[in-house]
Amino acid sequence: MKKLLFSLCVACGSLAAANLTQDITAEIPEIPQSRNGFKKVPNVAQYKMADWSQAIGISKGISLDEAYKIANDNPEITFFFYTKGGQMVLEREDGTYRVFRHGDTVFFSGNPWWGSAPGLADGYVRE
């Protein structure tokens, strides 16, 4: 444990000493993943102005593994998004909004209408 802490301190000190200004790791394209019969679509959520009448339900504060289990146990679910960031607010033109926090997962039937959600959510589509 002491060795790990020392290594982390050395790494942190090296970063600080290098006078780094911008992390550009996000420029590397993410490789699509498939897991438990669902294909991951990174950095998206259901578009805020989409028809949300196909929402089957929401589970709050769950793990991604729990989301897969819920989706696999219900054949009506064709896609879902999982909130991975701290908080995501989807505001609408009429002044209403939806707030999602880390672990909140919304399950849908039908086809997704993705909206951009970089760093906030990932979508998953049944294969």
pLDDT tens-place string over residues 39-52: 999 999 999 999 99
Residue 67 counted as domain residue: yes
Residue 18 counted as domain residue: no
Residue 1 counted as domain residue: no
Residue 25 counted as domain residue: no
CA 123, distance to chain mean position in Å, is 7
pLDDT tens-place string over residues 64-79: 999 999 999 999 999 9
Q: How many domains does the structure of the chain reveal? A: 1
**Segments forming the whole domain that contains residue 112:** 35-126
Residue 53 counted as domain residue: yes
pLDDT tens-place string over residues 30-41: 766 666 789 999
Residue 21 counted as domain residue: no
Instruction: Write down the pLDDT at residue 13.
Output: 52
Instruction: Assign residue 86 the CATH number of its domain.
Output: 3.50.4
Q: Are the CB atoms for 59 and 67 separated by under 8 Å? A: yes
pTM, entire model: 0.73
Instruction: Write down the pLDDT at residue 6.
Output: 46
Residue 64 counted as domain residue: yes
- Residues in CB range of 52: below 8 A, 6 or more apart: 46
Instruction: Write down the pLDDT at residue 5.
Output: 47
